[in-house]
Amino acid sequence: MRATLIYGAGDVRVENVPDPVLREPTDALVRVLRSCVCGSDLWPYKSRPATEQGERIGHEFLGVVEDVGSEVSGLRRGDVVVAPFVWSDNTCDFCREGLQTSCRHGGLWAADGVDGGQGEAVRVPQAQGTLVKLPAGEDSALLPSLLTLSDVFPTGHHCAFTAGVGPGTTVTVIGDGAVGLCAVLAAKRLGAEQIILMGRHKDRTDLGRDFGATDIVAERDEEGVERVRELTGGDGTRAVLECVGTEQAIGTAFAVARDGGTVSRIGAPQYEKVAMGFGEFFRNLTLTGGVAPARAYIEELLPEILDGTLEPGRVFDRTVGLEQVPDGYRAMNDRTALKVLIQP
């Protein structure tokens, strides 16, 4: 089959790889209907050292079950399913607590002999725990929004949820990428009263307004902080959703948080340390968030996608075929595309 591999910074290729086969009785084979490129795929795309051997890449996909192992129940050939970006048994203590990213028998796509999502098909380990059956056909117009259940929408939700967003909460979202926009949508869904979106790409912040942002702050750094403070009577917001992953963004996050407030981070950290010294201590600021256990949220978020209330799939502004995946990476890296959908 054809699948995407990364060989180094700026070097993504679509090549022939062995067809996946069932290896464990807990496996399933899934033919990919839709996949996409994640903001986090851009970090290796920007910086991975070049190697002779490529590595599989991609961790968001939705597809059709082709075959299941003998120990997989509840799934059968022809089912349309979505896979969260970490696979997990969904039965261990961590999974039962909703922390499937720490599953005792789970792991990552495109690592340790497991397929990546940006290909024609995937062998899914722990298939019964990992895959969620969708009441949708192979040609459903909802597929883009349903695909977001794999990562970007639950990631935005995890950010808002762990920050404690609820009815009436004031929220700042830092970053107008796809995750930031999904964090806006999630905060709105949870009842936030004021949602200030910090971002400077008008097409993106316009979508942010559609998703529920009440204010847009295009300024950055100190000027941006000043602007958020103006919008909040000088105090900042109770919840801050940090959807970038840089040290600079974390610094901004603390600066726009209200005393006693919570910063939730969901951008994969491109830093080792966080500035949380005496000032943040005295202000009783909390830093929470982390990699989203997408699996924990799919059932909760699904109904509002099915009934059309929520359209997180609007974050996709370009669709490519599998052979054009390298173009998709380029477009996202150049910021000419917000998020690229792949239709193999």
CB of 102 to its own copies, least distance (A): 4
Which of 74, 113, 206, 271 contacts its own copies by CB under 8 A? 271
Residues with Cβ within 8 Å of residue 289, at least 6 apart in sequence: 158, 159, 162, 163, 242, 263, 264, 265, 266
Binders of its own copies in range 135-194 (CB under 8 A): 162
- CA dist 154 and 159 (Å) reads 8
| The one segment of 48-56, 61-69, 134-142, 286-294 that binds its own copies by CB under 8 A | 286-294
The three-state secondary structure class of 252 is: helix
- CA dist 259 and 337 (Å) reads 37
Which of 44, 92, 102, 319 contacts its own copies by CB under 8 A? 102
Which of 276, 306, 311, 327 contacts its own copies by CB under 8 A? 276
- CA dist 333 and 183 (Å) reads 21
| The one segment of 10-18, 25-33, 45-53, 270-278 that binds its own copies by CB under 8 A | 270-278
Q: Decide if residue 88 touches its own copies (CB under 8 A).
A: no
Q: Decide if residue 285 touches its own copies (CB under 8 A).
A: yes
CB of 313 to its own copies, least distance (A): 26
CB of 273 to its own copies, least distance (A): 4
Cα angle at 298 between 91 and 214, to 5 degrees?
140
> Between residues 64 and 268, which has the closer beta carbon with respect to its own copies?
268
Q: Decide if residue 288 touches its own copies (CB under 8 A).
A: yes
- CA dist 275 and 216 (Å) reads 26
Residues near its own copies (CB under 8 A) are 94, 97, 99, 101-102, 162, 259-260, 265, 268-269, 271-278, 280-291, 293
